[in-house]
Amino acid sequence: MDFDLIIKNGAVIDGTGMHRRRIDIAIRDDKIVCMDRLIPQQKAMAIIDAQEMIVAPGFIDIHSHSDFLWLARPESDSKILDGVTTEICGNCGMSAFPLRGRILERRTQGLAKYGIAPLWQTAAEFYDTVEKVKSSVNRAFLVGHGNVRACTLDYENREPEPHELIHMERDLEEAMEAGAFGMSSGLIYPPGCYANHSELIELCKAVKKHSGFYATHIRNEGDTIEKALAEAIEISKQSGVRLQVSHLKTSGNKNWHKINDIKKIIEDARDEGVDLTCDRYPYLAAATDLDVILPHWTYEGGTEKQIQRLKDANTRRLITKEVSQTYDDASWNGIVISSVCHDKNKWMEGKRISEIAMLLNKSPLEAIFDLLIEEDTRVDIFLFSMCQENLESILGWDFVFVGSDSSMRANQGILHEGKPHPRSYGTFSRVLRKFCRERPLMSEEKAIQKMTGFPAQKVGLDRRGLLKEGYFADITILNPGKVTDKSTFAEPHQYSEGIEYVIVNGKVTIASGAHNGAMHGRILRRCK
């Protein structure tokens, strides 16, 4: 039998959680066609000798935000050099479709500097556009609840009228029919934060009808996390939709003690039959928008209205009073500016709010308000709010997968900007280094299952996530003694090391740790 490529002598961890085994893998076209103890080779065949290496399914980033930026850098460097062969985009309620009205204007403005012009509005138009674009990795997409709501209600803080909810359902179903795998929500961001319980249930019923799943950035991850989790679980129960809780955490040191309570809430729901899983990145800092600290009412009406409120002295006092109930002086030491748009403020990148305020001779909130105004609210931050003990507990839970919560980046070109969270570069290699090799929190078999087989099953990917005959040949080959994340908060633009080969749809794309320029990734659509 003729093969295009044989991987020999490797320790195969197949993504099921079963123990590794010494076995050869043969590939023809884009599929794994044979797995056997010894596959005879022919002179014309390409051979990868994986001696002393682990051969695993390509990693699946179940929580990615590369919806747009891959169009500027299709090599997808930071992800594929971290072993990722498939990204699930469209998380936290923000997606590439649908786009109409103010949300289209906002996305167009924000993407202009990358040379990206979203010329689509519907999901079908998006898929038709991007399927013509080559990339190094596969991508599947969720439809963002924030997009669906903004296209109908703009950024209004109110319940949809019955006819408006029908319109939202139509947008959602159009996206599902076009190939989306589910819906995501971001219930701390506008306009998702304005959605009530019943709206989300009705939309999730439409997702369930199309066999999709619901991924949610819950309404609170700190002081009222129990209530926020309960809401997500009730939405799943009432709609029947499968539930994925995004980047599970207990944020803020006064909430760290809640870890066991959170686990019990989740386990009780699973025992009751709720299909509930979670994802988590292996870092102690979150990354989000600076204006997330503001009260939800400040967002109403969109960015222009938000900036007007920030400029008004009386409104500033109201915002200050409300924010001060959650954030104290110590809080500003834990918030770091990661990126801004304007050159005049680039000096702030990598500095803490407390430091910036001192240098400007302003109060922290005054400095924040002024910066948000100057930057048209486009300010990214790190939020250091988690503890190591809880991180290790959460990553070790069987129902928690590995997800980066990040977009792809690159150490050159337009995507080499600011100080992005190191999870953009090193999420998967960090788990293998820190929690398998240096501090053995879990076996490599379990870690790889959390990166491959488990997320593939949850998302519903067709014949991906496992090393199995008949499955697509998405394969990551790594050196277990050398795999490591290099990216740091201070110097983030550094690729992981120890990922020796990455194969995407049967074609070698990373060879001896270097990108060879291959572009064989695909746009994945939900099977109807």
pLDDT at 43: 64
pLDDT at 64: 98
pLDDT at 41: 81
The answer to whether 123 and 164 have CB atoms below 8 angstroms apart is no
pLDDT at 330: 86
Q: What own/partner pairs with CB < 8 Å and gap ≥ 24 does 454-458 have? A: 454/277, 454/401, 455/60, 455/62, 455/88, 455/279, 455/401, 455/402, 455/403, 456/15, 456/57, 456/60, 458/62, 458/213, 458/242, 458/244, 458/277, 458/401
* pLDDT tens-digit series, residues 177-193: 999 999 999 999 999 99
Could you tell me the two tokens for 473? 């040949």
pLDDT at 45: 79
C-alpha dihedral, 259 to 264 to 267 to 272, nearest 10°: -150
Distances (CA, A) of 389 to 224, 256, 282, 382, 488: 20, 9, 12, 20, 20
Could you tell me the two tokens for 68? 């747009």
The answer to whether 487 and 470 have CB atoms below 8 angstroms apart is no
pLDDT at 168: 98
The beta strand positions in 113-201, using DSSP E, are 138-141, 143-144, 182-186
pLDDT at 328: 86
| Unique residue bearing structure tokens 């199309």 | 210
For the chain, the domains span 59-206+246-287+385-460, 289-384
- Which portions of the chain are predicted below pLDDT 70? 1, 43-44, 528
pLDDT at 39: 87
CATH superfamily of 59-206+246-287+385-460: Metal-dependent hydrolases (3.20.20.140)
